[in-house]
Amino acid sequence: MTDVESLSGLGAVSRETRARLETYQALLVKWQKSINLVAPSTLEDAWERHFADSAQLLVHAPAKIKLWLDVGSGAGFPGLVMGILLMETHPGSEVVLIESDTRKCAFLQTVIAQTKAPVRVLPMRVEKAAEDVVGKVGSTPDVISARAVAPLSKLLEMIAPFWSQDCVGLFMKGRDVVFELTEASKCWTIKASQAPSITAGDGVILKLEELARVRAQTAR
């Protein structure tokens, strides 16, 4: 067990959970040959770069989770990893992945079928899902996550329809997080905190606990 595995929580999972994650990893390698799921340079080190990177979010998540929403899921990081981990830590919870690329959706569905993870895939753009939040997602989520989807200002526009006062946002950001927060604060009132990523030297976990649109001032 590596330090990264221990710190991310992967070192403490059951044999069943680890077997599901290893099935996921094997499918990632297989499908990568025909679909660009992740950067090719990260495939050899996928356990740390993608699986442990995703797993570290669980430390920052609330104690009670019924619905976890992951937007722009791509190859399932972090949402599908969380779906597998929550089977052990939060039985009865569900994860919803929103992804517009149909080929990536096919990959996600294959992993879900083989791991039996409590995860649903919505093959559509986030904006389309937002048109009917309860109908498509099921309810308001307890957690919303995203990795490498969009700058914070745009990301907040994407998640705003799903947000509730009891929601927590967990976003994986890089070295420009301070600039992104500054730009986002022009349109949003935000309560956020940062924690260093254990897998990316300049990466951070941005935890969002309050979100409200700044009201435009009316001219007198």
CATH number for the domain that contains residue 103:
3.40.50.150
What is the per-residue pLDDT for 145? Answer: 98
Q: What is the pLDDT of residues 83-101, one digit of tens each?
A: 999 999 999 999 999 999 9
Instruction: Let me know if residue 117 belongs to a domain.
Output: yes
Judge whether residue 44 has pLDDT over 70.
yes
Q: For the chain, what percent of residues have pLDDT higher than 70?
A: 97
Instruction: Let me know if residue 219 belongs to a domain.
Output: no
Rounded to an integer, what distance in angstroms lies between the CA atom of residue 141 and that of residue 112? Answer: 20
What is the per-residue pLDDT for 16? Answer: 96
Picking from 8-12, 22-26, 40-44, 208-212, which range would have the lowest pLDDT averaged per residue? Answer: 8-12
Instruction: Let me know if residue 218 belongs to a domain.
Output: no
What is the per-residue pLDDT for 122? Answer: 97
Instruction: Let me know if residue 220 belongs to a domain.
Output: no
Angle at alpha carbon of residue 142, lines to 171 and 147, rounded to 5°: 20
Residue ranges making up the domain that contains 144: 3-213
What is the per-residue pLDDT for 219? Answer: 44
Judge whether residue 147 has pLDDT over 50.
yes
What is the per-residue pLDDT for 201? Answer: 80
3-state SS of the chain is: CCHHHHHHCHHHCCHHHHHHHHHHHHHHHHHHCCCCCCCHHHCCCHHHHHHHHHHHHHHHCCCCCCEEEEECCCCCCCHHHHHHHHHHHCCCCEEEEECCCHHHHHHHHHHHHHHCCCEEEECCCHHHHHCCHHHHHCCCCCEEEEECCCCHHHHHHHHHHHCCCCCEEEEEECCCHHHHHHHHCCCEEEEEEEEECCCCCCCEEEEEEEEEECCCCCCC
- When divided into structural domains, the chain yields a total of 1
Tell me which range, 106-110, 138-142, 215-219, is most confidently predicted by mean pLDDT: 106-110
Rounded to an integer, what distance in angstroms lies between the CA atom of residue 208 and that of residue 202? Answer: 19
